[in-house]
């Protein structure tokens, strides 16, 4: 496992509400208010890119990302899932798993783009009510083999 990097927020903190932690990676929930169900799958060791990992770890991580995506889809029932791995601001390998809805503030644009419409408070509240179920489901994800 790669050592922590000084000053890296994903080395120094979980980076959000911890839902699951394994030896190699963790799953956190982020952006509750604007995008309920938005998760990150964070590699525990400090590497910047997917290809910094050995092939077996790359495959393992992608299986974990797929399990998180499946769980988010089952609980949050989005219209679409966005997957992204940027690391431009925090160069520590992590995948964004973002449930998207045709009615959300930014759809069809990225969640980092300009809003397209006002927030629908009632729909957001309904999704937020599912977060305890999502967190529980994520906490029971089996570590990929």
Q: What is the per-residue pLDDT across 15-56, written as a single tens digit (0 to 9) for each?
A: 899 999 999 999 999 977 899 999 999 999 999 999 999 999
pLDDT, tens only, 61-93: 999 999 999 999 999 999 999 999 987 878 899
pLDDT at 123: 97
Integer Cα distance of 27 and 143 in angstroms? 11
Supply the pLDDT for residue 2.
Answer: 60
Residue 3 has pLDDT above 80, yes or no: no
| Cβ pair 84, 98 in contact under 8 A | yes
Q: What is the value of pTM for the model shown?
A: 0.93
Per-residue pLDDT at 19: 97
Domain 9-136 annotated CATH 3.30.1330.10: no
Asked if the model's pLDDT at residue 1 lies above 60, the reply is no
């Amino acid at each position: 496992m790669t050592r922590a990097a000084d000053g890296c927020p994903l080395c120094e903190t979980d980076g959000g509400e911890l839902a699951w932690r394994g030896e190699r990676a963790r799953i956190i929930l982020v952006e509750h208010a604007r995008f309920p169900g938005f998760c990150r799958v964070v590699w525990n060791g400090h590497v910047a890119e997917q290809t910094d990992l050995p092939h077996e770890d790359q495959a393992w991580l992608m299986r974990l990302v797929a399990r998180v995506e499946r769980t988010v889809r089952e609980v949050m029932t989005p219209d679409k899932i966005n997957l992204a791995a940027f690391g431009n601001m925090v160069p520590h390998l992590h995948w964004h798993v973002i449930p998207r809805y045709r009615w959300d503030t930014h759809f069809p644009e990225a969640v980092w783009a300009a809003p397209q419409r006002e927030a629908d408070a009632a729909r957001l509240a309904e999704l937020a009510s599912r977060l305890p179920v999502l967190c529980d489901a994520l906490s029971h994800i089996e570590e990929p083999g």
